[in-house]
Amino acid sequence: MLRQYTLEYWIDEGRFVGRIREVPGVFGQGESLEELEDNFAMPTK
């Protein structure tokens, strides 16, 4: 089953910071938006 989540992000002190809206407490960061998205990517089987 494929699930879709909403990544909400902002820039804080030059870094991209984000959270998954549907999962409370899940935050991440990256030097670029692409890196931030990669940090949230789930491995596939």
pLDDT along the chain (45 residues), means of 10: 89 97 94 94 67
- pLDDT of amino acid 43: 65
Full-prediction pTM beyond 0.95?
Answer: no
Instruction: Give the range of the structural domain holding residue 19, as residue numbers without chain letter.
Output: 7-40
Please report whether residue 1 resides in a domain. Answer: no
Please report whether residue 13 resides in a domain. Answer: yes
Please report whether residue 33 resides in a domain. Answer: yes
Classify 13 in phi/psi space as left (phi over 0), alpha (psi -120 to 50) or beta. left
Please report whether residue 24 resides in a domain. Answer: yes
Could you give the CA distance from residue 10 to residue 22 in angstroms, rounded to a whole number? 17
CA distances from 16 to 10, 28, 30, 39 (A): 6, 8, 5, 11
Number of structural domains (the chain) is 1
- pLDDT of amino acid 7: 94
The answer to whether 40 touches 32, Cβ cutoff 8 Å, is: no
Please report whether residue 25 resides in a domain. Answer: yes
Please report whether residue 2 resides in a domain. Answer: no
